[in-house]
Amino acid sequence: MKVAIITGADGGMGFEETRAVAQAGYHTIMACYSPKLAEPKCRQLIEETGNSHIEVIGLDLASLQSVNHFAGQIRDRFTEVHLLMNNAGTMETGRHITVDGLERTASVNYVGPYLLTRLLLPLMKAGARIVNMASCVYLLGKLDFPEFFEKGRKGAFWRIPVYSNTKLAITLFTMSLAKKVKEKGITVNAVDPGVVNTGIIRMQMFFDPITDLVFRPLIRTPRQGADTAIHLLLDNDVTGQTGTFNRSRKIINIGEKYTNHRQMEDLWKQTEQIVLPFLNSELLDM
């Protein structure tokens, strides 16, 4: 049975992505921050889909040791991973530093998924698909080093620019990795779900309750937001498609500025240095 891994699988879009791959017959790993909260949803999906091969494994993307431990469990149990959906994300409302000395948004949205993908790549063969959750706000992103990793951005913390910076980073990672693994037949694509009615949208300013009432009914449902990701994970007509940015089931031309971004190589090298303690000799040659 083929293996699929979905991070943040108990959240809105993650839950829909998990349902889709489970219905497609995959042994589905729900990689979740809180396994206790995810277990009831896992049981729900087993009942709904009739697929008994759905399980929850804990994963905290704000801890590189947790990412390493999760990947170790996967390597110990499975010989191959066919689908990896880097879905989990956060938009922190304040600056929080992880045990690894990283700003939490940067860790959860970028460095954690980067390390997870790197650790699982040896289990991926031709035909494997990696899909990264990006966003159109990559256009607002700006990468200053080392501030991006340590504080999210230069200057005071502001959640929208910090979130945008992480989405630029995951987009550049997608384009860079796609080039590196293309000859192996592994595809890597990014998806912009649009504005989706999930818990990541937090309304906290004094006017936010009114904004919440007016705004949320107009935005996409989790199933609508997950649709393009599911398309990239499962559909035959995207077989071989790689290094693309997608929205509403269409490839979006993001231009040379981003497909060959001037900071792409520097971002890769600096991230490699951060995750180096968790990479063995097999993983270093990329």
Q: What are the CA-CA distances from residue 190 to residues 251, 278, 284 (Å)?
A: 10, 25, 24
Indicate the helix (H) or strand (E) that contains 27: strand 27-32
Specify the DSSP class assigned to residue 109.
I
Q: Tell me, yes or no, if 33 is annotated catalytic.
A: no
- The whole-angstrom distance between residue 95's C-alpha and the CA centroid of its chain comes to 21
80: amino acid identity, one letter:
E
- For residues 163 and 137, is the Cβ–Cβ distance under 8 A? yes
- Nearest-angstrom CA–CA distance, 134 and 120: 20
Active-site option among 26, 110, 138, 163? 163
The bridge status of strand 3-7 relative to strand 83-86 is parallel
Catalytic residues: 163
